[in-house]
Chain A
Amino acid sequence: MATRLPLAICFIFGLVMFLQYFSGHPLARAAYNHILDWWQIIFAFTLLVGVAAFIKSSLRKTQVKKDAPYALIALAGLILMPLLAVIDGTDIDSPFLWAFENMLAPLQATVFSLLAFFVASASFRGFRARSVPAAILLGTALVVLVGRVPLAESISELFPKVTFWIQNYPSMAARRAILIGIGLGSMTTALRVILGIERTYLSGE
């Protein structure tokens, strides 16, 4: 029951969503629209489960002396946003959007901008032309770095032209091969999931 029922549900819904692609019948359309709706709603519940798990884990960390302050700060942040939304909604001048704009967005953007420093450091320490493929990689990266700055364009039109040629032909060809491979693999995996051969989503089956 614990395994057979989910497998049966996966099979039924997978088959319905696959077959409806080939049918314009009103019943097929209705089933399609309902399933899309249910999928959306159930997905939203996964966040609630995640929030509950986070709260549980953070409360456990508050018992550990060195982690306690950070867990409390995280919980404070978690409570703050819904509290602000309840107080004054989520419209343009609301405290909720203010907190997003002045706390969440700057924090996220700054954490991401740290990568610029690490990329520079990695470029110095790790980016070596050790072999022919590495030299090709390095050479292409240098061409792109040079070709996509306005200074290079001012010097010669050849710089951006070479960059775009590399992007539109050899680089695109390799990416296309990867896409085709992923497409074929994804189709196979989807089929295996529907048929119940692939069961990793059942947590360890």
Chain B
Amino acid sequence: MNIGIIIAGVLTLAIYTFLYKDNPVYRAAESLLIGLSIGYALVIFWQTTLMDRLFEPLFGDGELLLIIPLILGLLMFGRFGRKTSWLSRIPIALMIGAGAGVAIPAMLYARTLKQMSASVMPLVTAGGGFDIGGLVVVAGLLSTLAYFYFSREHRGLMGGVARVGTWFLMIFFGATFGYTVMSRLSTLIGRVDFLLTDFLHILS
């Protein structure tokens, strides 16, 4: 019997004890998960980024410009001291600024303009009939945007349109809920497969 499978099976059952109630076995397994996750991430971050992109190029290939991110990265540790905590704001400001700078054109193009242009479509077909799907999309888009427009009170015509927007939102949330249930059940099926096949050998 594979020792790895035994360990995986025992840990799986330890987590499932939570379904009865919170207990020391579950909490121990949960603590192990937290420790392993952080340890794993530490290895991956170190190997694939710090060694690969910083220490080897800096100390191996002599790319001296990398001293700048090294110093900035070390400044992050300033947050552990009361008098030095402000130093950690410097590398954070660089990351936030860079992120904000690249985000503006990305958000403008990908989330706003492209989505708006995709909504502008013919609502009447070549045969003279209405494109029901297109009408639904336009109606849903405009009414939902009206719902999120809080600068004007939702009364009268605006209120009516916003209410329709609420219905479209409920359709979206309902569809999302349905798919989420599907997704969660799939994860359970996967664990049942492991227990029945690999751990208990009930299925081949």
Chain A residues close to B by CB (< 8 Å):
1-3, 5-7, 9-18, 21, 34-54, 56, 69-71, 73-82, 85, 90, 96, 98-104, 106-117, 119, 123, 132-134, 136-145, 148, 165-184, 186-187, 189-191, 193-194, 201-203
Contact in complex: A107, B11 (CB < 8 Å): yes
**Which residue of A167, A186, A194 contacts B111 across the interface (Cβ within 8 Å)?**
A186
Contact assessment for A14 and B33 in the assembled complex, using a CB-CB cutoff below 8 Å: no
CB–CB B89/A202 < 8 A: yes
A69 touches which of B28, B73, B194 (Cβ 8 Å) = B28
Whether, in the assembled complex, B107 has its beta carbon less than 8 Å from a beta carbon of chain A, the answer is yes
Contact A201 B93 (CB under 8 A): yes
- A103 and B42 contact, CB distance less than 8 A: no
- A166:B171 contact, CB within 8 angstroms: yes
Q: How many A-B residue pairs have CB under 8 A?
A: 384
Instruction: For B50, list chain A residues within 8 Å (CB).
Output: 41, 44-45
Q: Is the interface of B mostly helix, strand, loop or mixed?
A: helix
B157: min CB distance to chain A, Å:
18
The residue that A173 contacts in the complex, of B108, B168, B174, B179, with Cβ under 8 A, is B168
Q: Which residue of B lies closest to A139 (CB)?
A: B174
In contact, B107 and A103 (Cβ under 8 angstroms): no
Contact residues in A for B65 (Cβ distance below 8 Å): 34
Partner pick for B33 among A108, A117, A202, CB 8 A cutoff: A108
Contact indicator B43/A103 (Cβ below 8 Å): no
Given A10-B93, A98-B4, A119-B184, CB of A81 within 8 Å of CB of B39: yes
CB-CB under 8 A for A174 and B108, given A16-B101, A73-B32, A116-B188: no
In the complex, A181→B170 CA distance in Å?
17
Given contacts A13-B101, A175-B172, contact A43 B5 (CB under 8 A): no
Is B15 in contact with A107, judged by CB distance below 8 angstroms? yes
Contacts A107-B29, A107-B32 given: A82-B4 contact, CB under 8 Å?
Answer: no
A177 touches B32 (CB 8 A): no
Q: Which residues of B contact A133 (CB under 8 A)?
A: 166-167, 170
14 contacts between A and B (CB under 8 A): A9-B90, A13-B93, A38-B69, A42-B69, A44-B45, A45-B91, A79-B35, A79-B39, A109-B191, A110-B191, A115-B187, A116-B184, A116-B185, A176-B115
Chain B CB within 10 A, most for which of A35, A41, A52, A190: A41
- Contact between chains at B36 and A183 (CB < 8 Å): no
User: Considering only CB atoms and an 8 Å cut-off, how many residues of chain B contact the other chain?
Assistant: 113
What is the CA–CA distance of A85 and B44 in the complex, to the nearest angstrom?
10
- A107-B33 in contact (CB<8A): yes
Whole-angstrom distance from the CB of B163 to the nearest CB of chain A?
A: 9
- Give the shortest distance, in Å, between B113 (CB) and chain A (any CB): 9
Which A residues are CB-close (under 8 A) to B130?
none
Q: Provide the residues of chain A in CB contact with B107, threshold 8 Å.
A: 183-184, 186-187, 190
Selected contact of B97 from candidates A170, A179, A193, CB within 8 Å = A193
For chain B, residues 16 to 75, give those with C-beta under 8 angstroms from any C-beta of chain A. Answer: 16, 18-19, 24, 27-43, 45-47, 49-50, 53-54, 65-66, 68-70, 72-74
Q: Measured between C-beta atoms, what is the minimum distance from A190 to chain B in Å?
A: 4
- In the assembled complex, the CB of A187 is this many whole angstroms from the nearest CB of chain B, namely 5
A5 and B90 form a contact (CB under 8 A):
yes
Contact status A75-B35, CB under 8 Å: yes
A112 and B187 within 8 A (CB): yes
A119 to B176, CA, bound (A): 13
- Beyond contacts A106-B194, A191-B100, A202-B93: 12 other A-B pairs, Cβ-Cβ < 8 A, are A5-B90, A9-B90, A41-B73, A42-B91, A74-B32, A107-B29, A136-B171, A136-B174, A140-B173, A144-B177, A181-B148, A190-B104
